[in-house]
């Protein structure tokens, strides 16, 4: 199956907590926690470190040292983590000794979801009442627009973890629609605290990338390296400062290596975007892939190398121009029963 | 394949796509033009500011190989080259396109040097301008679509989207050049001829557009069959 790329870990995590009522009693979990703490101190003593300041990273390193494992699957290797991470939070029994359930919505099947919808709608009506009061008193409504770009709603899995029960896709989208309606009202600032429970901040994309500082070679010329890939081609580029705009690929001049105009355009794209065509020299090595894939790989490598020469704003512009993302498109595999990835065999009536 | 469908459903709750892309749907399209990045903050409208903020947070797709920020790359011309391409031979299609533009320039320059002084300003020499204007002239305003009602199929006049108009104009030009030409004429020559005729609102492609408009006008009675 296709390996999932360009997704967050939040989407890929499975929610074990919502699968059913608790399998582990509270006493069992308490015992596990005590055993874990004891074991942590023993491990610290064994490694010769201070038991008081032994962090989770130290535990991981110690276990990897004491129990080396050659297994490929990370989840199959020996693991020592706090029991709350290993045994996920689960719902307690929802009914008392006489068999009567505690929550009034128990027999709907999705009690926490419906109670959540109930609460959210109550807040919505609250805000509307407040709005009507302001209109009745002829006071101006607050029209400050909430910044939607810096925050995102909880994903379905995070909502399931919060409610500790399974939420279907339709239910989730209904909940998000209700939240959006609530936020769209002008006086929604009253319920800001409630809304913040369901929204998470998204960090700026730019901050996820680390820009390396410039290096200097023997003659004092500043240079920086970058790596790029496209389909099966892998390229490394070294961009030198104070150059004449010469580009060498695998020891051959770019005019001879790429006879097609489109590939040369792609090589010069990052330089042309930053208006630095005659100012840099480039030496690159590339292997694998075809002619267009090699050009794309070198383009990505040179764009990554140019990040060190340029201000942060221009790096952001490069990212928005699509120069710094790895192109994930690869050749689709052929499927059994078909002639190619999409083409089916000729249909014959008999 | 079922595992794929289940995982894809995680990010597209209601639709399991048949035609999928390797990008997560939160990825936005890249903006290659340099001018849009060099605009100062004050000139941007509210919508553009919101777009900018959204772009700062979301990841962006990689720019395709046919797109570049140089002055020579034109999205319409690349679209046209792709439509002319056969069996993935982009090199040949690109060379044919450049030969066409060269031929247009040569013909226009010949006309320019032969023309008297007062007409010299009216002759357009820029092949890109001629290409864009010719395509615009070839675009139909209204199209026909087959709607079956009560067993009979009617040709119903229907409004067309911008993309569809551009596609039809380009398709007509290419089919016209491939079919109605003498065996020995080459594609660039025939294409440049057709583009110049279309630029002056003459030629077989414009005639085809007018024929389509007349059919739509004739079938005006069935316009109420359309439900969208």
Distance in angstroms between the alpha carbons of the first and the last residue of chain A: 34
Looking at the domain assignment, is residue B173 inside a domain?
Answer: yes
Q: What residues make up the domain containing A287? A: 215-321
Q: Cβ contact (<8 Å) for A1 and B57?
A: no
User: CA dist A270 to A265, A274, A303, A319, Å?
Assistant: 10, 6, 6, 11
Backbone angles phi, psi at B106, to 5 degrees: -65, -45
Minimum-distance CB partner of B59 among A2, A6, A266:
A6
State the average pLDDT over residues A213-227.
85
Question: What pLDDT is attached to residue B40?
Answer: 67
Tell which residue, B53, B51, B75, has the closest CA to residue B64. B75
Q: Cβ contact (<8 Å) for A1 and B4?
A: yes
pLDDT band at residue A163 under the 50/70/90 scheme: confident
Q: How far apart, in whole angstroms, are the C-alpha atoms of residue A181 and residue A38?
A: 51
Minimum-distance CB partner of A205 among B11, B34, B59:
B59
Q: Rounded to an integer, what is the distance from CA B186 to the centroid of its chain? A: 23
User: CA dist A322 to A61, A209, A276, A330, B30, Å?
Assistant: 38, 14, 18, 17, 5
Looking at the domain assignment, is residue B146 inside a domain?
Answer: yes
Give chain A positions within 8 Å (CB) of B67.
Answer: 322
Give chain A positions within 8 Å (CB) of B59.
Answer: 6, 205, 325
The total number of structural domains that make up chain A: 3
Taking phi first (over 0 means left), then psi (-120 to 50 degrees means alpha), and beta for anything else, what does residue A57 get?
Answer: alpha
Distance from CA of A322 to the nearest CA of B (A): 4
Asked if A55 and A119 sit in the same domain, the reply is no
Instruction: Provide DSSP, A11-39.
Output: HH----GGGSS-SS-HHHHHHHHHHHHHH
- Residue A327: strand, helix, or coil: coil
Asked if A225 and A300 sit in the same domain, the reply is yes
Question: What pLDDT is attached to residue A193?
Answer: 87
Q: Cβ contact (<8 Å) for B30 and A321?
A: yes
Q: Which two tokens stand for residue B177?
A: 């050049």
Asked if A312 and A220 sit in the same domain, the reply is yes
Q: Report strand pairing: B152-159 vs B142-149.
A: antiparallel
State the average pLDDT over residues A250-279.
91
Please say whether the beta carbons of A289 and A244 come within 8 A: no
Q: Cβ contact (<8 Å) for A169 and B4?
A: no
Q: How far apart, in whole angstroms, are the C-alpha atoms of residue B17 and residue B10?
A: 12
State the average pLDDT over residues A184-212.
80
Distance in angstroms between the alpha carbons of the first and the last residue of chain B: 35
Please say whether the beta carbons of A299 and A228 come within 8 A: yes
Asked if A245 and A301 sit in the same domain, the reply is yes
Instruction: Tell me the pLDDT tens digit for each residue of B39-68.
Output: 766 666 777 777 888 888 888 899 999 888
Q: Which two tokens stand for residue A19?
A: 């699968």
Of residues A307 and A201, more confidence is placed in A307
Minimum-distance CB partner of B73 among A265, A322, A328:
A265
Question: What pLDDT is attached to residue A161?
Answer: 85
Per-residue pLDDT of chain B (228 residues; tens, 9 = 90+): 444 444 444 444 344 455 778 888 888 889 888 887 777 666 667 777 778 888 888 888 999 998 888 888 889 999 999 999 999 999 999 999 999 999 999 999 999 999 888 888 888 889 999 999 999 999 999 999 999 999 999 999 999 999 999 999 999 999 999 988 888 889 999 999 999 999 999 999 999 999 999 999 999 999 999 888
User: CA dist A124 to A179, A192, A244, Å?
Assistant: 9, 12, 64
Length of chain B: 228
Q: How far apart, in whole angstroms, are the C-alpha atoms of residue B59 and residue A317?
A: 13
Minimum-distance CB partner of A269 among B27, B68, B90:
B68
Query: Which residues have a Cβ under 8 Å from the Cβ of A90 and sit 6 or more positions away?
Result: A17, A20, A21, A22, A23, A24, A164
Minimum-distance CB partner of A149 among B1, B53, B61:
B53
Question: What pLDDT is attached to residue A337?
Answer: 92
The total number of structural domains that make up chain B: 1
Q: How far apart, in whole angstroms, are the C-alpha atoms of residue A126 and residue A132?
A: 10
Q: Cβ contact (<8 Å) for A321 and B53?
A: no
Q: Is the pLDDT of residue A110 over 70?
A: yes
Q: Which residue of A has its CA nearest to B3?
A: A1
Q: Is the pLDDT of residue A12 over 70?
A: no
Q: Cβ contact (<8 Å) for A269 and B61?
A: no
Asked if A226 and A316 sit in the same domain, the reply is yes
Q: Which two tokens stand for residue A283?
A: 């030496």
Tell me how many residue pairs between chain A and chain B have CB atoms under 8 A apart: 110
Looking at the domain assignment, is residue A94 inside a domain?
Answer: no
Question: What pLDDT is attached to residue A24?
Answer: 72
Give chain B positions within 8 Å (CB) of A14.
Answer: none
Asked if A229 and A289 sit in the same domain, the reply is yes
Question: What pLDDT is attached to residue A148?
Answer: 67
Asked if A258 and A312 sit in the same domain, the reply is yes
Tell which residue, A181, A167, A168, has the closest CA to residue A120. A181
Q: Which residue of B has its CA nearest to A335?
A: B1
Q: How far apart, in whole angstroms, are the C-alpha atoms of residue B85 and residue A127?
A: 59
Asked if A197 and A229 sit in the same domain, the reply is no
Q: Cβ contact (<8 Å) for A273 and B69?
A: yes
The percentage of chain A sitting over the pLDDT mark of 70, rounded to a whole number, equals 90
Instruction: Provide DSSP, A146-197.
Output: P--TTEEEPPHHHHHHHHTS---HHHHHHHHHHHHHHHHSTTGGGGHHHHHT
Burial A287-301 (b: 16+ CB within 10 A, else e): eebeebbbbbbbbbb
Question: What pLDDT is attached to residue B173?
Answer: 93
Looking at the domain assignment, is residue B136 inside a domain?
Answer: yes
- Residue A248: strand, helix, or coil: strand
Give chain A positions within 8 Å (CB) of B18.
Answer: none
Q: What residues make up the domain containing B91? A: 75-225
Q: Which residue of B has its CA nearest to A319?
A: B60
Interface test with B, best of A261, A263, A297, A320 (most B CBs within 10 A): A320
Give chain B positions within 8 Å (CB) of A320.
Answer: 30-31, 37, 55, 60
Q: Which residue of A has its CA nearest to B54?
A: A149
Instruction: Provide DSSP, A266-308.
Output: HHHHHHHHTT-TTT-EEEEEEESS-HHHHHHHHHHHHHHHHGG
Give chain A positions within 8 Å (CB) of B14.
Answer: 169-170, 173
Tell which residue, A21, A317, A211, A2, has the closest CA to residue B24. A2
Looking at the domain assignment, is residue A38 inside a domain?
Answer: yes
Looking at the domain assignment, is residue B181 inside a domain?
Answer: yes
Looking at the domain assignment, is residue A349 inside a domain?
Answer: no
pLDDT band at residue A3 under the 50/70/90 scheme: low
Asked if A194 and A225 sit in the same domain, the reply is no
Instruction: Tell me the pLDDT tens digit for each residue of B24-33.
Output: 888 888 988 8
Distance from CA of B28 to the nearest CA of A (A): 9
Distance from CA of B123 to the nearest CA of A (A): 30
Minimum-distance CB partner of B22 among A292, A321, A329:
A329
Helices B90-114 and B127-138: crossing angle in degrees, nearest 10, is: 100
Distance from CA of A293 to the nearest CA of B (A): 9
Asked if A225 and A159 sit in the same domain, the reply is no
Read off the CATH number of the domain in which B137 is found. Answer: 1.10.455.10
Residue A134: its H or E element: helix A111-136
Asked if A306 and A222 sit in the same domain, the reply is yes
- A122-126 contacts: CB < 8 A, separation 24 or more? A123/A182, A123/A191, A123/A194, A124/A178, A124/A181, A124/A182, A124/A185, A126/A190, A126/A191
Question: What pLDDT is attached to residue B172?
Answer: 94
Interface test with A, best of B9, B10, B102 (most A CBs within 10 A): B10
Q: Cβ contact (<8 Å) for B7 and A326?
A: no
**Average pLDDT of chain A to the nearest whole number:** 85
Minimum-distance CB partner of B32 among A156, A321, A327:
A321
Looking at the domain assignment, is residue A333 inside a domain?
Answer: no
Read off the CATH number of the domain in which A236 is found. Answer: 3.30.230.10
Q: Cβ contact (<8 Å) for A261 and B94?
A: yes
Lowest mean pLDDT among A20-24, A243-247, B125-129: A20-24
Interface test with B, best of A1, A5, A6, A9 (most B CBs within 10 A): A6
Q: Which residue of A has its CA nearest to B53?
A: A149
Q: Cβ contact (<8 Å) for A205 and B58?
A: yes
Backbone angles phi, psi at B142, to 5 degrees: -135, 145
pLDDT band at residue A20 under the 50/70/90 scheme: low
Q: Cβ contact (<8 Å) for A320 and B58?
A: no
């Amino acid at each position: 199956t296709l390996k999932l790329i360009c997704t967050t870990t939040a989407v890929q995590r499975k929610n074990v907590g919502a699968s059913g009522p608790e399998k582990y009693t509270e006493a069992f979990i308490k015992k596990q926690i005590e055993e874990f703490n004891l074991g942590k101190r023993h491990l610290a003593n064994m490694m010769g470190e201070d038991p008081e300041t032994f962090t989770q990273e130290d535990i991981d390193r110690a276990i990897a040292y004491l129990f080396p494992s050659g297994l490929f699957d990370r989840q199959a290797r020996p693991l020592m983590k706090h029991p709350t991470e290993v045994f996920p939070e689960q719902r307690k029994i929802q009914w008392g000794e006489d068999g009567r359930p505690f929550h009034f919505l128990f027999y709907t099947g999705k009690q926490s979801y419906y109670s959540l919808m109930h609460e959210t709608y109550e807040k919505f009506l609250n805000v509307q009442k407040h709005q009507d009061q302001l209109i009745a008193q002829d006071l101006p409504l607050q029209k400050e627009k909430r910044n939607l770009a810096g925050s995102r709603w909880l994903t379905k899995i995070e909502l399931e973890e919060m409610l500790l029960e399974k939420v279907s896709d339709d239910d989730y989208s209904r909940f998000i629609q209700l939240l959006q309606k609530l936020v769209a009202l002008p006086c929604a600032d009253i319920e800001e605290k409630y809304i913040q429970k369901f929204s998470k901040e998204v960090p700026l994309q730019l901050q996820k990338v680390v820009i390396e500082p410039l290096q200097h070679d023997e003659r004092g010329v500043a240079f920086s390296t970058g790596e790029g890939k496209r389909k099966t081609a892998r390229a490394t580029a070294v961009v030198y400062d104070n150059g004449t705009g010469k580009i060498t690929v695998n020891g051959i001049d770019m005019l001879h290596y790429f006879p097609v105009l489109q590939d040369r355009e792609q090589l010069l794209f990052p330089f042309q975007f930053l208006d630095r065509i005659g100012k840099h020299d480039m030496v690159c090595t590339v292997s694998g892939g075809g002619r267009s894939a090699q050009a794309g790989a070198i383009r990505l490598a040179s764009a990554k190398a140019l990040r060190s020469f340029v201000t942060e704003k221009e790096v952001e512009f490069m990212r928005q121009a699509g120069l710094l993302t790895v192109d994930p498109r690869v050749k689709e595999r052929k499927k059994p029963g078909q002639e190619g990835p999409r083409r089916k065999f000729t249909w014959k009536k008999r | 394949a079922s595992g794929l469908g289940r995982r894809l459903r995680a990010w597209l709750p209601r639709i399991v796509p048949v035609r999928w892309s390797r990008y997560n749907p939160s990825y936005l399209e890249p903006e290659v033009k340099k001018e849009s990045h060099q605009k100062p903050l004050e000139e941007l409208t509210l919508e553009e500011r919101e777009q900018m903020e959204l772009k700062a947070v979301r990841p962006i797709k990689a720019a395709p190989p046919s797109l570049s920020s140089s002055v020579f790359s034109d999205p319409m011309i690349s679209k046209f080259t792709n439509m002319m391409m056969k069996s993935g031979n982009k090199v040949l299609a690109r060379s044919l396109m450049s030969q066409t533009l060269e031929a247009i320039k040569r013909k226009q320059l010949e006309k320019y040097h032969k023309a008297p002084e007062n007409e010299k300003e009216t002759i357009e020499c820029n092949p890109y301008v001629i290409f864009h204007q010719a395509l615009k002239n070839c675009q139909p305003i209204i199209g026909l679509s087959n709607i079956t009602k009560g067993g009979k199929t009617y040709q119903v006049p229907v409004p067309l989207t911008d993309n569809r108009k551009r596609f039809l104009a380009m398709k007509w030009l290419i089919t016209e050049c491939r079919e109605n030409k003498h065996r020995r004429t080459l594609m660039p020559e025939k294409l440049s001829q057709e583009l110049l005729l279309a630029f002056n609102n003459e030629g077989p492609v414009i005639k085809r557009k007018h024929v389509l408009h007349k059919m739509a006008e004739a079938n005006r009675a069935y316009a109420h069959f359309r439900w969208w």
